[in-house]
Structure 1
Amino acid sequence: MNNAIGMIELTSIARGIYTTDLMLKTAYVEAVSATPVCPGKYIAIVHGDVAAVESSISVGVETAGEYLVDSFILPNVHPAVFPAITATTMPDETGALGIMESFSLASMIVAADAALKAADVQAIELRMGSGIGGKSYFTFTGDVAAVRAGIEAGAAIALEKGLLVDVEVIPSPSDKLWKSLF
């Protein structure tokens, strides 16, 4: 069962590529993403069964050494996280808009997972580092109460690590704003 996801975030691209190679050789996992991101960081996201992801991330953290920024393992990732990372989501309908922003890419994935699990919301996009100075943000929609509940759950994750930049809830976004998001 491939429902676990793990990620490492490094400050070195060279060490990131080297580390990713070892992570993929260590356990039977698939790379969701392994790429440089702004500003000169590198991320590797893997998925597979829980034991394989734990083994892969453990090797990744050890190999990353002083270049490690952040890492995580999510044993039962919400199914909407993957499409949000690739910006291939289109909500059934729009309501309130929730936005969470973090200095860490890894913590934003965990925060997005928490938001999606905490409330009846739909993911729009999970933007990761490229073109935004190494930060990340997650946008999602639902009714106002659900979006607020999602923000509360997700923000607690990033805040706990000291990496939260900002959160916003827009109860009734302009149609022109929605058009810019899709």
Structure 2
Amino acid sequence: MKKSLVLLEFKNISTGFLVFDEITKNFNVDIEVSKLLCPGRYMIICSGNQGEIESLRRHILYLKEQEEYKYITERLVSGVDADLVKKLNKTIKFPERVRSLGMLEFSNTVQAIETADFIEDESPVEVLTIKIGIGMCNKGVVLFEGDTSAVKNTVVKVQNLKIKELIAATNINSPNEDFLSNFHL
């Protein structure tokens, strides 16, 4: 099943709490994620039908016109597979045999989620997890697996998108079992 998401990231926690309260009182959406990301940042991810999500998005755009709400990052992502949403901060369970492993590191979590959706739609690899809110700088990381050529092509495809939030893109061919058993993200 496909979902529409609105991804909200706040540069201060109190604004995030105020908007979270408004959302729960005024919009018929599901809260997928509501969490502190790092000191001073807060994230909310909502899902629902296209009309309700678009209504919420218009409300957020209206709020951003006001001085006290100008530091909200928002993105609308339509047609996201429900299984991808379940991979947010999912503990990594590697397949029995990992052919090649790809990792994309972003300066924010919103772009990581948006790119993971792109990868699911456009590449023959499997997204294993989307780690959000990593470290002091609120990074996002997408980890995916597939055959060597598919992982390499996916890394190149994402690099060619020239996403300004992309920090690093790596592929590891035939990762060692000791590496995989000790891998923590």
Which residue number corresponds to residue 36 of structure 1? 36
Q: CA deviation at 1:180?
A: 2.6
Change (3 A) 1:144 1:80: farther
Aligned length: 179
State the one-letter code of the partner of 1:3.
K
The corresponding residue for 2:85 is 82
What amino acid sits opposite 1:126 in the alignment?
I
Does residue 136 (structure 1) correspond to residue 130 (structure 2)? The answer is no
Q: Is the 8 A contact 1:96 1:169 kept in 2?
A: yes
Q: Larger deviation: 21-30 or 109-118?
A: 21-30
Unmatched 5+ stretches in structure 1: none
Structure 2 unmatched runs, 5+? none
Shift of 1:94: 1.8
The answer on 1:73 being equivalent to 2:76 is yes
Deviations 1:19-67 (Å, cap 9, x if unpaired)? 1222333321010011111142111100011111121133234335222
**CA distance 1:110–1:49, change in 2 (3 Å):** same
Matched, 1:172 2:174: yes
Query: Aligned partners of 2:143 and 2:15: how far apart in 1?
Result: 31
**Residues 2 and 80 of structure 2 are in contact (CA less than 8 Å); yes or no, is this contact kept in structure 1?**
no
Instruction: Indicate conservation of the 8 Å contact 1:37/1:130, yes or no.
Output: yes
CA-based RMSD: 2.2
Which residue matches 2:51?
A: 51
For the pair shown, the structure with the greater C-alpha radius of gyration is 2
2: CA distance, partners of 1:74 / 1:7: 8
Richer in helix (by share): 1
Change (3 A) 1:78 1:91: farther
TM-score, normalising length: structure 1: 0.86
Q: How far 1:15 moved relative to its partner?
A: 0.1
Q: For 1:26 and 1:2, locate their aligned partners in 2 and report how far apart those are by CA, in whole Å.
A: 23
Q: Which amino acid aligns with 2:118?
A: A
* Cα 1:27/1:145, change in 2 over 3 Å: same
Provide, for residues 103-158 of structure 1, a one-character-per-residue CA deviation record: whole Å limited to 9, x for no partner. 1111110011111211121122211114353111111100012212332444455x
